[in-house]
Structure 1
């Protein structure tokens, strides 16, 4: 078992930008917003708590990625930013999200509220839910779990076709397992930075 823990200084170095335009934004924060930001870096904060790795097959161990700090993220030429024309996040439900319609609606209402808070300033809209069959995506039955799985890459293509004109991005959500390619057991989600589409299960 391994525990990954980052110091307060490491987090601040990685996450706080020195870009003059963003520094000016930081300076406009009120006292409450500044306190919230500062508390995020404290050792007992839930936001950046330690991560426990239980085995070599855990995601961080089995799928190593190059580190990326905020400056690299901010200056990434492929990073999309909202504009006056593209300012809406669309949520597309695929299949049932709960045992009943009311459970599904409650879940989507919660998700919409979360997106509105997290992506403050953007409009969050709901597309009409669609059954899995409407995506015309490939599917399979997982040999180990015997669960139905749908092809994540093909869902991205489906979402791209349904992306409204004013969309900053469109996000598909489903309770059905996803797989990105035949050799993979499953994947939690997949996204396209250039097409502004993604899905999660």
Structure 2
């Protein structure tokens, strides 16, 4: 048996620009769909969650309307697993396997902008030539009381989980059937913490 290293394929972007780096290609000339007039200039999204979570998500989405500078800081994340009987989440390692230092922020002195370029913003004026739109009438707010009633019940954790999932599934079905401004391109489900 012989192993081969495959070279990165070239990706075609707008104006017949070929490049293997999607970030560079999008920033340089834009998406291929700009060349053949199939590019969407607007992406309509709807949100499912509690009223508070919908509002927080909408505020968070506003961040994408402006450029975001890349940073060199990152956090170490540990994998976790879920016990199928109890629904309890635990890390894959015991506490004694790691010191407290493992959870601190790590940062480099310099930012490699080629590896971590700044985000240019998601607007019709940016390289994306597109914007996110949301109509409040097309969002579906799940009543917080419904969550609380399920969580306060004496049922086993997995039964509570199933009931909460069913709340979201019902909300999704109802949203798809009743949207006021046509079917959204994206439906975002914000899950309570």
The structure with the largest strand share of the pair is: 1
TM-score range, shorter chain: 0.3 to 0.5
Higher alpha-carbon Rg: 2
TM-score, structure 1 as length reference: 0.34
